[in-house]
Structure 1
Amino acid sequence: MTITKAIILSAGQGSRLLPLTRDVPKCMIDFNGRTLISWQIAALVANGVTDIVVVTGFRTERVEDHALQLYRETGARIRCVFNPFFQVADNLGTCWIVREEMDRDFIILNGDTIVSDEIVAKLIAGTQDAITVTVDVKPDYDDDDMKVNRDESGRLHHIGKRLLPPDTNAESIGMLAFTGEGPAIFRNQIDQMMRTPEGVERWYLRAIDIIAKGNRVGTVSIEGLEWQEVDFHQDVEAATALTAKWVAEGRYGR
């Protein structure tokens, strides 16, 4: 399996990180000499993903300028699409804005998740279904985790923050692959949901939960591999420690 395109959802401000994000988008937070989005792009490029679309919103001009810099550094084709509704719509709306870019096999990545290159490689190698969700497995899950119920074959049955503990056996890390018919299935579901009054309030993973009721949605476990979501101030500390380790290892070079 080869996937060369990615969409990064980076429209939000990251209000839970204020005052750190008062004038800086979350994706532009510096971690040991690289921005969050630079770490993401480095992991993607290391796996041959060189056509990257970044959906922007808050302080879009900063991200657009930085994307040009990253293009010069990596040689990857990095383009920004501005979401003018980022303040009033959740990330389902962000996906809808960029739906025309879902024109072939692609990876979608939340703009607040730092992943290692091994995780990207494992997702690409393990993608067998039209839609594949990257999951981690932990002893327990908190209220903020995007919880997953999957069976022994890896098929996802439900995904959402409100899953009860007995029904939860994995966590989505905010990265999915869409291959074959997957992009069209996802586009159609997004469009249907955005035509409803509550569409602007939905998360895009709600679309995956609905799709899973009638289609096989696969999962790939990255248990034991390194990643970090950046939502709260303690996450900034954890991401700083993780990326410091990667810098010491010489990961991705400069």
Structure 2
Amino acid sequence: MTISKAIILSAGQGSRLLPLTRDIPKCLIELGGRSLISWQVAALVANGIRDIVVVTGFRTERVEDHALQLYRDTGARIRTLFNPFFQVADNLGTCWIAREEMDRDFIILNGDTIVSDEIVARLIDGVKEPITVTVDVKADYDDDDMKVNRDAEGRLHQIGKRLLPPDTNAESIGMLAFTGDGPSIFRNQVDQMMRTPDGVERWYLRAIDVIAKGNRVGTVSIEGLEWQEVDFPQDVEAAEALTAKWVAEGRYAK
């Protein structure tokens, strides 16, 4: 399996990180000498993904300028797509803005999640269904985790923050692969949900939860591999420690 395209959802400001994100979007936070999105691009490019669409919103000009620099640094085709509704719509709306880019196999990645190149490789190698959700496994899950219920074969049955502990056996890390019919299945579901009165208030993983009721949605476990979501100030500290480790290892050397 090879996947050559990725969509990064980076429209939000990251208000839970204020004042750090007062004038810069979350994806431009500097960690280990480079931006959060630069770490994401490095992991994707290391796995042969060279067509990358970044959906922007808050301070879009800064992200657009940075995307051009990343193109110069990596040679990958890095394009931006502005979401003018980023202040009033959640990330289902961001996916709707990017629906025309869902034209072939692709990976979607939340703009606040740093992943190692091994995780990207694990996802690509583990694809068995049209939609594949990358999950981690922990001893317990908090209220902010995007919790997952999956069966022994790895099929996803439910996904959402409100799953009860007895129904939770993994968490989504915010990276999914869509292959074969997966892009059209997802695109159609996003479009249907955006036509409803509460569509702008939905997260795109709600679409995956709905799809899982009638289609096979697979999961790939990355338990033991390195990643970090950056939502709160303490997450920034953890991400700085992780990227400092990667720098010391010479990973993704410029």
TM-score for the superposition, normalised by structure 2: 1.00
Give the alignment of 1:37-116 within 5 angstroms. 37-116=37-116
| Residue number in structure 2 paired with 1:208 | 208
Are positions 1:20 and 2:20 aligned together? yes
Q: Runs in 1 of length 4+ with deviation above 3 angstroms?
A: none
- The alpha-carbon deviation at position 190 of structure 1 amounts to 0.3
Amino acid at match of 2:90: D
Q: What SS class does the counterpart of residue 252 from structure 2 fall into?
A: coil
Amino acid at match of 2:179: T
- The alpha-carbon deviation at position 74 of structure 1 amounts to 0.2
Q: What SS class does the counterpart of residue 78 from structure 1 fall into?
A: strand
CA RMSD of aligned residues (A): 0.2
Q: What SS class does the counterpart of residue 214 from structure 1 fall into?
A: coil
Amino acid at match of 2:6: A
Determine the C-alpha separation between the residues in 1 that align with 2:34 and 2:20. Answer: 16
Give the alignment of 1:121-136 within 5 angstroms. 121-136=121-136
Determine the C-alpha separation between the residues in 1 that align with 2:195 and 2:67. Answer: 32
Determine the C-alpha separation between the residues in 1 that align with 2:231 and 2:8. Answer: 16
Determine the C-alpha separation between the residues in 1 that align with 2:66 and 2:24. Answer: 12
| Residue number in structure 2 paired with 1:191 | 191
| Residue number in structure 2 paired with 1:166 | 166
Q: What SS class does the counterpart of residue 120 from structure 1 fall into?
A: helix
Residue by residue over 1:135-184, the C-alpha shift from the partner in whole angstroms, topping out at 9 and shown as x without a partner, is: 00000000000000000000000000000000000000000000000000
Determine the C-alpha separation between the residues in 1 that align with 2:34 and 2:211. Answer: 36
| Residue number in structure 1 paired with 2:2 | 2
| Residue number in structure 1 paired with 2:182 | 182
Determine the C-alpha separation between the residues in 1 that align with 2:221 and 2:38. Answer: 24
Amino acid at match of 2:103: D
Q: What SS class does the counterpart of residue 54 from structure 1 fall into?
A: strand
| Aligned residue pairs, count | 254
Determine the C-alpha separation between the residues in 2 that align with 1:95 and 1:27. Answer: 17
Q: What SS class does the counterpart of residue 234 from structure 1 fall into?
A: helix
Determine the C-alpha separation between the residues in 1 that align with 2:136 and 2:26. Answer: 23
Amino acid at match of 2:151: D
Gaps of 5+ in 2: none
Residue by residue over 1:90-148, the C-alpha shift from the partner in whole angstroms, topping out at 9 and shown as x without a partner, is: 00000000100000000000000000000000000001100000000000000000000
Gaps of 5+ in 1: none
| Residue number in structure 2 paired with 1:118 | 118
| Residue number in structure 1 paired with 2:234 | 234
Determine the C-alpha separation between the residues in 2 that align with 1:238 and 1:183. Answer: 33
| Residue number in structure 2 paired with 1:36 | 36
- The alpha-carbon deviation at position 243 of structure 1 amounts to 0.1
- The alpha-carbon deviation at position 32 of structure 1 amounts to 1.2
